[in-house]
Amino acid sequence: MRSHEDVVPEAVNWYVLLSSEHVTDAERQAWDRWMCESDMHRQAWEDIKRKLSIFEGIPSNLGVEVLSRPPSKVNRQRREAIKTLGLLAAVLLPTGYVFKDALFGQFNYDYFTGVGERKNIALTDGTNLVLNTKTAVTIHSSRHTMMVQLHHGEVLVSTSKSHQKTQVLMIETGHGRILPLGTAFNVRRFDQFSRVSLFEGLLKLAPQQSGEHAFVHPQQEIDMHSNRVVFRRRLSVLSPSWQRGYLELDNMPLKYFAEEIERYRYGIIKCHRDIEQLMISGSFSVDDVDASLRSLAHTFPVRIQRYTRFLIMIMPLNK
């Protein structure tokens, strides 16, 4: 007979799946059926939410909110294939998530990366792209333009100084367009804005719903919303070190470190609210997240508690 401990990992993985921006209608319905199968499933789900509520505000009606989200606007034929195969893949833990990521990318994007993966792409105009973890782009090339559409994730862009330009390069993020003028820069797409960090050269930004534009100069960082741009006082990207496999931090709150490092590993990493503002510095591997967490616990007054391989919590030493 299955025990509560046997079911908790399933609840964790349903939480991870439902938290994904790519969750499908079929997966929401499958979660609902799983919840209705037994009281043990419902108890495990509530147990996970209760543990996570220690770290951040998790609404009590999380499942209802997820189930009520409007479906994404994708091609119906591709969507049906993704729903059918993705539902089967999601229950194959942990490899199901890898398969689902690859399946979704194959149907929708020109280039994509899975969790913890990086990929170099050389465009025909001499531009080089480095895709970070969980990133997807589509390339639209015409006689006069080379358009890189960033659907989600993060990309480091380096334009060629020697290549003869016959096309205008543009980066489209959904919040607006970026026109690089001989540059090296980083673009990361969030839900409400796109964060652009410039290392060299010059950028011209054009928000989607604004007739105005802004110029970005080296060592500047800007959040581009659909209707405005906001220059950031404190840079979140000191260097594009993630392309070499590590995060370079300088006085980053522990809460944000947990959010950053979580991107490179399957599952959930949360920080206890009592130590959210603990400032940390150093270099941490994104290729070996477990080693980074061990280094964190060795260097700072925290401990790492693992509930399952998919749920890790950063705790104060005295908790």
How does pLDDT run across 221-252, given as a tens digit for each residue?
999 999 999 998 765 555 678 999 999 888 89
- The larger pLDDT score, comparing residue 78 to residue 103, is at 103
Give the number of residues written for the chain: 319
Ranked by mean pLDDT, the top range of 72-81, 96-105, 248-257 is: 248-257
- Kindly provide the b/e burial profile for residues 14-35, where b requires at least 16 CB atoms within 10 angstroms of the residue's own CB: bbbbbebebbbebbbebbeebe
**Closest C-alpha to 3, from 38, 34, 33:** 38
What is the reported pLDDT for 198? 92
Instruction: Give the span between the Cα atoms of 175 and 152, in whole angstroms.
Output: 12
Q: Are residues 41 and 7 in contact, defined by beta-carbon separation less than 8 angstroms?
A: yes
Q: In whole angstroms, what separates CA 47 from the centre of its chain?
A: 25
How distant is the alpha carbon of residue 240 from its chain centre? 16
What is the pLDDT averaged over residues 286-306? 95
- Calpha distance 201→313 (Å, rounded): 41
Check pLDDT > 70 for residue 202.
Answer: yes
Helix/strand/coil for 95:
helix
pLDDT of residue 309: 75
Q: Are 210 and 227 in contact (CB under 8 A)?
A: yes
Predicted confidence at residue 123, as pLDDT, reads: 92
List, for residues 28-81, the tens digit of each pLDDT value: 888 999 999 988 998 888 887 776 665 554 444 444 444 344 444 434 444 443
28 neighbors 17 (Cβ within 8 angstroms): no
Task: Decide if pLDDT at 92 tops 70.
Answer: no
pTM for this one?
0.71
Q: Which strands, in side-by-side order, build the sheet including 268-271?
A: 268-271, 311-316, 302-308
pLDDT band per the 50, 70, 90 thresholds, residue 89: very low
pLDDT confidence of residue 154: 95
